Chains A and B, each alone.
Chain A
């Protein structure tokens, strides 16, 4: 359980990091290390070069401007957890982040690292899909924005080119008073989620749904935005029966089958957790 030999690089700027990334063969980018380091210890990956981003200070920030939460790629997960802005204006992120591993891993683990690793059950991945996030990446030819819907392309594979680096993620704010709910099922607290659901709701004064967002995590290899459910909800009056009926669509999602659970169980959890997330979201409408 020791990492294989590699050369270590700790650039001080994003441009130096991009330079190294385009120059070096078989290089891996090290962010918080909470996934890459175990993979190195187990020798699942055998890179010739490690490019450590931990000395690039400008990649670590968290700010809200014009209703958009902007988070630098090297911002620690704990910074989201303890941010007052996140708690007040992006409450689903606060609720979900408490399910991301444990205190010890959130202290080191980064937002960008989690998004690039793209574990199917990663809460930050599910949140980014739910919140219509946009990521910014930089490569030798400059920067480009990628809508998060386009970012995950295959199992644990992103739209990043091999010489590109993720620099930030932006979450547009939902209006004050929106409802939110993040529900997750795992064997033990802090374990990888077998399934999770993230729901956001906007209602008019009479309980009529104006806008809905529902995302499943851990069910498919990629986060699944349940557009079909969202469509079925908009324009309707919120009720548990409505949510239950609409969420039946989650049983048809193409689901992962592994040692933890068969696909049918994940589909079942998808439907149940979605309903619970929507019920929680509805109960919170108008309260924040």
Chain B
């Protein structure tokens, strides 16, 4: 193997992948093109729009400005791994559906992942905090109103589950 290619092992949504990658490949391209995980979207490809946001070892990061080789030995969560089962949506996803949190859906994977981390760290946010929380994710359809409403609604939905004995 030349120094232009590397073998990596990465866990994505609980599944372990062992792959050989070109070292210049971004993490986003690796997941989408090599693994077929196209849930993660690519908008700007230079770290501005937030569509490609994933959780990298539990922390949000932009997968278009990370290299696939950097994921070696790490754990990733993408939008495909949010729902508890194939026929059941995550409460955050339910809240997006009920509050018109998406129209075309292009920004949605990044929004969901960003808000997953945000609501974990701040389970009872104010509207202003939500707006700052999603300031790194661009949406061209909703004007953000529906997304903010969905986030606040999701915070309420996620609460009883946490407080239940």
* Contacts from A to B (Cβ < 8 Å): 1-10, 30, 33-34, 37-38, 40-42, 50, 52, 54, 78, 101-105, 107-108, 188-190
Residue of B with least CB distance to A38: B46
Most chain A CB atoms below 10 A, which of B24, B56, B65: B65
Is B132 part of the binding interface, using a Cβ–Cβ cutoff of 8 Å?
yes
7 example contacts (A-B, Cβ-Cβ < 8 A) are as follows: A7-B3, A7-B23, A33-B65, A41-B46, A50-B23, A101-B136, A189-B131
Q: With A2-B29, A107-B59, A189-B135 in contact, do A42 and B46 touch (Cβ < 8 Å)? A: yes
Q: How many angstroms from the CA of A40 to the CA of B47 in the assembled complex?
A: 12
**Is B69 a contact of A103 with CB atoms below 8 Å?**
no
Provide the bound-state CA to CA distance between A6 and B136, in Å: 29
Using Cβ atoms and an 8 Å threshold, which residues of chain B touch A2? Answer: 24, 26, 29
Question: In the complex, how many residue pairs between chain A and chain B have their CB atoms under 8 Å apart?
Answer: 95
Instruction: Across the interface, name the chain A residue whose C-beta is closest to B50.
Output: A104
Q: Mark B1-25, 1 if CB is under 8 A from A, else 0.
A: 0011010000000000000000110
Q: Are B114 and A1 in contact (CB under 8 A)?
A: no
Chain B at the A interface: SS class = mixed
The answer to whether A4 and B24 touch (CB under 8 A), given A41-B45, A103-B117, is: yes
A8-B67, A108-B56 known; 8 other A-B pairs, CB under 8 Å? A2-B26, A10-B69, A30-B67, A42-B46, A52-B70, A103-B117, A105-B136, A189-B135
**Do residues A103 and B26 form an inter-chain contact, with CB atoms below 8 A?**
no
- If A10-B69, A41-B26 touch, whether A102 touches B135 (CB-CB below 8 Å) is yes
In the complex, the answer to whether B69 meets A38 with C-beta atoms within 8 Å is no
